[in-house]
Amino acid sequence: MAAHGTPTPLTAPASGPLTGEAHVPGDKSISHRSLILGALAVGETRITGLLEGQDVLDTATAMAAFGAEVVRHGEGRWSIHGVGTGGFAEPEDVIDCGNSGTGVRLVMGAMATTPIAATFTGDASLRARPMGRVTEPLALFGAEARGRAGGRLPLTLTGAALPVPVDYATPVASAQVKSAVLLAGLNAPGATVVTERVATRDHTERMLAGFGAEVTVEDTAAGHRIALIGRPELRPQAIAVPRDPSSAAFPVCAALIVPGSEIVVPNIGLNPTRAGLYTTLQDMGADLTFENPREEGGEPVADLRARYSPAMRGITVPPERAASMIDEYPILAVVAANAEGATHMPGTHELRVKESDRIDAMARGLRACGARVDETEDSFTVHGAGPGGLPGGATVAARLDHRIAMSFLIAGMAARAPVTVDDAGPIATSFPDFRPLMERLGARFEAATEDA
Ligand code: S3P
């Protein structure tokens, strides 16, 4: 499953019961941040459990290009010798962030208050995504961006020589925007403040505090407010990355819809700003149990047991929950297609600017599989066919989007006829072992033959 190159179609026929333990990869959001903050600390940060998906590898390469010493010691074990706040060197070449919106937006933030220039690009998916949401607040610090129309990549960012701190209210619910502003604030004198109407994933705030920065978080009338005092000396850390709840969602949802399944996903991160899917699934009647809840490395974790759940019913997902499950709507839509009744997902406009337009990708793909789906600009509704009721029998476009590819392979596992995704390559961006992991649980996939 190469992330780039020739498309690799993959077919999922109906699966027998899934059983066993699913050791999903390290958290993607936390992996990016470990590398970036490690690069900005003075001394050596050691990381275990790092996700070695292409998105994170591209961020590791970027940190080396800005002057940090990045070393891989073994599976998931990395060290990064940081250059200190404001210590980034000017990269000699273009920074290619591949498929990763998180990578490019956070790295732009991290360099925006250092007087160097860097040119950023990415794959066709990333080059189509909006960057103005990040370059606009970075301009308030004094950084200058020149990109294609609409602020699209490739884009050159020149960091501010005399940065000023910023007080910014995010116009969209985006942890990437919040994080870019906070990372830029690291090298601005005084307090940089970000206020968000809805709290998004808070790994940046947690990790900044862990590295020794002064961060205060409070809920105010204007929203969730994070203040950071600039120019701290970041102290290197030992970081154990928890397993990714967004990756866990795929085997968990597969177990819920494939008859006879029971799996355990050990050690998954259950930070409340990330765990909205699991609340939603329980609201629908999913049989989930959280075993051994504990805290590791400042993040709540537990072992999650999931059993086949034929009695799931459609619900309206509260829009205020969207930020805490934003990456999980594609796989939720697959579960919804296997539940009784309609699942309505309002307040999901942000899905239209992910690795693909995920509302459109899911609506078209599920319709091709025989489901009824309604959509508006800001919502979509999947009309469930009941357990095992999805006809399937379609080839669906993955659109350079790992989560679309994985969602439709899981749809095929519970459908009446096999489902093919036209390119499983993008799965390597976040979940390189997806196929062997699912096969160990009992799934069966078939690579399409050359002339298929
Ligand atoms: C992420 C934030 C979210 C999410 C993405 C990871 C992060 O994006 O969809 O997969 O690590 O900050 P937005 O900030 O665009 O909501």
Domain boundaries, the chain: 10-26+242-447, 28-232
Give the distance (Å) from ligand 1 centre to CA of residue 174.
Answer: 6
- How far is ligand 1, taken at its centre, from the CA of residue 289, in Å? 26
Q: Which of 54, 202, 326 to mutate to test the pocket of ligand 1 (most atoms within 8 A of CB)?
A: 326
| Cis peptide bond N-terminal to 7, omega within 30 | no
* Ligand 1 neighbours by CB, cut-off 6 Å: 29, 102, 174-176, 179, 201, 326-327, 350
Measured from the Cα of 200, ligand 1's closest atom is: 16
pLDDT of residue 452: 41
10-26+242-447 and 28-232 share one CATH topology? yes
Going by alpha carbons, the residue nearest to atom 15 of ligand 1 is: 174
pLDDT recorded at residue 4: 57
Class at the top of the CATH hierarchy for domain 28-232: alpha beta
Ligand 1 atom closest to residue 177's alpha carbon, by position in its atom list: 14
pTM of the model: 0.97
- Using CA atoms, how far residue 66 sits from 136, 154, 324, 347, in Å, is 22, 18, 32, 38
- Distance in Å, CA 95 to ligand 1 centroid: 20
Angstrom distance (rounded) from CA 302 to CA 47: 20
In this predicted structure, what is the pLDDT of residue 449? 60
Q: Residue 448's pLDDT is what?
A: 74
Q: Specify whether domain 10-26+242-447 bears CATH 3.65.10.10.
A: yes
Beta-carbon contacts of 156 under 8 Å, excluding residues fewer than 6 positions away, are 117, 118, 119, 120, 145, 146, 147
Cα(86) to ligand 1 centroid in Å equals 25
β 152-158/395-396 pair status: unpaired
Strands in 246-352 per DSSP E:
262-269, 287-296, 299-307, 342-346
What pLDDT does residue 451 have?
46
* Consecutive 10-residue averages of pLDDT for the chain (452 residues): 74 98 98 98 98 98 98 98 98 98 98 98 98 98 95 97 98 98 98 97 96 98 97 97 98 98 97 97 98 89 98 98 98 98 98 98 98 98 97 98 98 98 98 98 86 44
Residues 209 and 207: their CA atoms lie apart, in Å, by 5
Q: Which residues are catalytic?
A: 327
